[in-house]
């Protein structure tokens, strides 16, 4: 059998794809290097000032938030995954896909919604006081959601699907033979989860928790709305409020070090654990049917995280949006924001998918250490929070804008202004760097399903590498490319930190409009934009549920 490594030419065609992948990797790494240089250019006493005033509080809040969110997502994601895998009860099929719904709600939207839902003079606290016999918020009020505890709980209930998805997949692949063997060794049915299923699923739990924590680090809206001063919030306030780019760069560098530590922790947590079974005829994991009463209890228990993470915010948004439309109709401002959101997200999706194709196809064309490293470097942007990427992109393109402006003034006597930053190119660049990992990873998975024998047949029939890509790989990987593009589009629509920092003047998207209205406390004005983001966010949930049904 001809190996994959020998199935491709080493000529000019392969070199061109490799050069393209190298260019993409360089574009991804350039903002990171620019950030490092900018951080080193700060004044001599800037680091000591930040270390004495900003970093201690921001770092402590960030670590506490990460620990709390990690614990809640691990518990909720693992328990719900075991619930729909180990037990058969009425409504289980509904829970399997409904548990994904909180993915449709960005973290800043759940904070925005619950700030109004749980307001001291709102309907929920009013009903609680009425039931307990109190008449005024001064007599009784629930704990303020604007706190570290509130932030941990809300982020945990909206991010647990990152743990639920890989952990449930791991539970489904576990063989019933292992469960039977543990039962013969005296382990009770209840103890099977703790002694067999959970240890085997620990790598999946570690991956899911690390993804949830990456999203927590990227969050800026929820943390700021709820009064938690994380490193991400400190970067934004240092740059925007104090106009201190070197200081923001140094805080961003600190945040990047936290990300590196988090990735290292995830790799350490997984270690070298792998799951395999040597049984030639291993039976699939079998769900245990429970009584109707216990089944209803399990069903309503599974509905609880869905209601908190999706149901309550969605009901609130629909109600507020309906009241807003009924009172004032749909404003032209909404249509303008919809246009900006769709155009920016679509343009970024096209660029990101094209870059992902370059990286993924170069890996198939010339497999080896070089392309493997290029693929790793190209996907580093997803690990960096949006604020970090945004500052790096700003430094790079501001320098380029300045160079072009000075050159045009010297040669032609005209000023070009901010060509890249003022046109939205900086935002598209940041989106592409941030979400290239989704595009390249999805397309690479689609290409991996195409047998190498198809490549050999195409080459024998006289097709070049580019021709094989156009006539063989591109048609066969359309579904993977479409799915990757959909995920990138939705993430661009939901992205708040990079959009806040890099959008052109007088350009508002759904996310930035929602942030501005929530910061001012005018929640009803942003309800339609928030509902639109949630509706768009449901698209990948539908995709994931369809993939799960097809796999089953």
Tokens coding 40: 């080193």
159 occurs within a structural domain: yes
Residue 240 lies in a domain: yes
Residues 20-57: pLDDT tens digits? 888 999 999 999 888 888 877 765 556 676 777 778 88
R_g over Cα of the chain: 25
Q: Note whether 438 and 488 are within 8 A (CB).
A: yes
Which DSSP string corresponds to 49-76?
HHHHHTHHHHHHHHHHHHHHHHHHHHHH
Q: Domain for residue 10, yes or no?
A: no
Reported as type and span, the H/E element at residue 87 is strand 87-88
The pLDDT value recorded for residue 7 is 44
Question: How much is the pLDDT for 274?
Answer: 55
d(Cα 155, Cα 224) in Å, to the nearest integer?
13
Mean pLDDT of 269-282: 53
In a domain, 319, yes or no: no
Tally of domains within the chain: 2
Assess contact for 167 and 77: CB atoms under 8 A.
Answer: yes
CA distance 151 to 197: 31
In this structure, the answer to whether residues 294 and 357 fall within a common structural domain is no
Structure tokens at 356: 């992902």
Q: Which two tokens stand for residue 463?
A: 């097709």
User: Same structural domain for residues 295 and 422?
Assistant: no
pLDDT of 5 strictly over 50: no
pLDDT over 70 for what percent of the chain?
88
192: how many CB neighbours lie within 10 A of its CB?
A: 16
Q: Could you tell me if 57 and 177 lie in one domain?
A: yes
Of 191, 157, 474, 164, whose CA–CA distance to 307 is shortest? 157
Is residue 272 located within the same domain as residue 226?
Answer: yes
Q: Is residue 28 part of a domain?
A: no
Residues 89 and 177 in one domain: yes
Long-range contacts of 413-418 (CB under 8 A, 24+ apart): none
241/195 same-domain check? yes
State both tokens at 464. 């070049």
Phi, psi for 260 (deg, rounded to 5): -60, -45
Structure tokens at 174: 């576990």
Token pair listed for 181: 């063997």
367 versus 403: the higher-pLDDT residue is 403
Same domain, 122 and 66: yes
Contacts 24+ apart (CB under 8 A), 64-68: 64/148, 64/152, 65/148, 65/151, 65/152, 65/155, 65/216, 65/223, 65/228, 65/230, 66/213, 66/216, 66/217, 66/262, 68/148, 68/149, 68/152, 68/156
Instruction: Provide the pLDDT for residue 343.
Output: 94
Classify residue 315: in a domain, yes or no.
no
Q: Are residues 244 and 345 in the same domain?
A: no
Does residue 269 lie within any of the structural domains? yes
pLDDT above 70 (res 177): no
CA 399 to chain centre: 29
Based on the fold, state whether residues 241 and 106 are members of the same structural domain. yes
> What count of Cα atoms within 13 Å lies in the side-chain half-sphere of residue 399?
11
Q: State which residues form the domain around 446.
A: 337-507
Per-residue pLDDT reduced to its tens digit, 96-138: 889 999 988 899 899 988 988 888 887 888 888 888 888 888 8
d(CA 168, CA 86) in angstroms, rounded, equals 10
Whole-angstrom distance, CA of residue 365 vs CA of residue 382:
24
Give the percent of the chain with pLDDT over 90.
Answer: 22
Point out the domain boundary residue: 491, 507, 523: 507
At residue 169 the predicted structure's pLDDT band, cuts being 50, 70 and 90, is: confident
Whether residue 347 sits in one domain with residue 229? no
| CATH label of the domain that carries residue 53 | 1.10.3720.10
Task: Determine which helix (DSSP H) or strand (DSSP E) holds 88, and give its type and residue range.
Answer: strand 87-88
Cα distance between residue 180 and residue 386, in whole Å: 47
139 exposure class (CB count in 10 Å sphere: 0-12, 13-18, 19+): exposed
In a shared domain, residues 230 and 362: no
Assess contact for 31 and 395: CB atoms under 8 A: yes
The answer to whether position 393 is within a domain reads yes
Residue 407 shares a structural domain with residue 266: no
């Amino acid at each position: 059998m001809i190996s994959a490594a020998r199935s491709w030419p080493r000529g000019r065609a392969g070199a061109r794809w490799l050069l393209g992948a190298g260019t993409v990797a360089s574009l991804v790494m350039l903002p990171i290097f620019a950030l490092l240089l900018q951080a080193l250019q700060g004044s001599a006493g800037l680091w000591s000032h930040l270390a004495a005033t900003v970093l201690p509080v921001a770092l402590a809040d960030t670590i506490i938030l990460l620990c709390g969110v990690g614990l809640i997502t691990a518990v909720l994601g693992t328990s719900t995954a075991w619930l729909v895998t180990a037990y058969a009860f009425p409504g289980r099929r509904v829970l399997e896909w409904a548990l994904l719904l909180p993915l449709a709600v960005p973290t800043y939207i759940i904070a925005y919604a619950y700030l109004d839902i749980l307001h001291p003079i709102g309907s929920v606290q009013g009903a609680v006081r009425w039931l307990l016999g109190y008449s005024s918020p001064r007599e009784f009020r629930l704990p303020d959601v604007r706190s570290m505890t509130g932030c941990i709980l809300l982020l945990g209930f909206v991010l647990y699907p990152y743990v639920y998805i890989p952990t449930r997949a791991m539970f489904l692949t576990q063989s019933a033979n292992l469960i039977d063997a543990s039962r013969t060794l005296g382990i009770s049915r209840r103890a099977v989860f703790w002694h067999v299923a959970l240890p085997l699923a620990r790598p999946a739990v570690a991956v899911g928790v690390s993804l949830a924590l990456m999203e927590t680090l990227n969050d800026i809206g929820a943390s700021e709305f709820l009064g938690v001063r994380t490193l991400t919030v400190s970067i934004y306030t240092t740059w925007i409020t104090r106009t201190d780019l070197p200081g923001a760069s140094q805080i961003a560098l600190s945040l990047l070090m936290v990300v590196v530590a988090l990735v290292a922790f995830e790799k350490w947590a997984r270690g070298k654990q792998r799951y395999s079974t040597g049984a030639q005829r291993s039976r699939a994991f079998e769900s245990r049917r429970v009584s109707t009463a216990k089944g209803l209890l399990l069903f309503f228990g599974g509905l609880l995280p869905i209601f908190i993470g999706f149901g309550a915010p969605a009901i609130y948004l629909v109600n507020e949006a309906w009241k807003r439309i009924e009172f004032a109709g749909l404003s032209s401002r909404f249509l303008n924001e919809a246009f900006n959101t769709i155009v920016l997200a679509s343009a970024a999706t096209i660029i990101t998918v094209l870059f992902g194709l370059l990286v993924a196809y170069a890996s198939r064309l010339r497999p080896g250490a070089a392309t493997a490293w290029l693929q790793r470097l190209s996907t580093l942007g997803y690990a960096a929070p949006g604020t970090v990427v945004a500052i790096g992109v700003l430094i790079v393109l501001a320098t380029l804008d300045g160079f072009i402006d000075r050159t045009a003034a010297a040669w032609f006597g005209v000023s070009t202004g901010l060509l890249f930053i003022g046109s939205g190119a900086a935002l598209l660049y940041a989106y592409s760097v941030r979400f290239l990992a989704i595009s390249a990873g999805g397309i690479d998975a689609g290409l991996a399903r195409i047998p190498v024998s198809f490549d050999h047949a195409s080459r024998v029939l006289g097709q070049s590498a580019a021709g094989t890509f156009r006539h063989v790989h591109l048609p066969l990987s359309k579904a993977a490319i479409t799915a990757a593009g959909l995920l990138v589009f939705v993430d661009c629509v939901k992205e708040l930190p990079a959009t806040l920092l890099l959008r052109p003047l007088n350009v508002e998207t759904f996310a930035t409009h929602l942030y501005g209205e929530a910061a001012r406390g005018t929640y009803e004005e942003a309800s339609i934009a928030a509902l639109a983001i949630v509706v768009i966010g449901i698209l990948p949930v539908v995709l994931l549920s369809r993939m799960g049904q097809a796999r089953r």
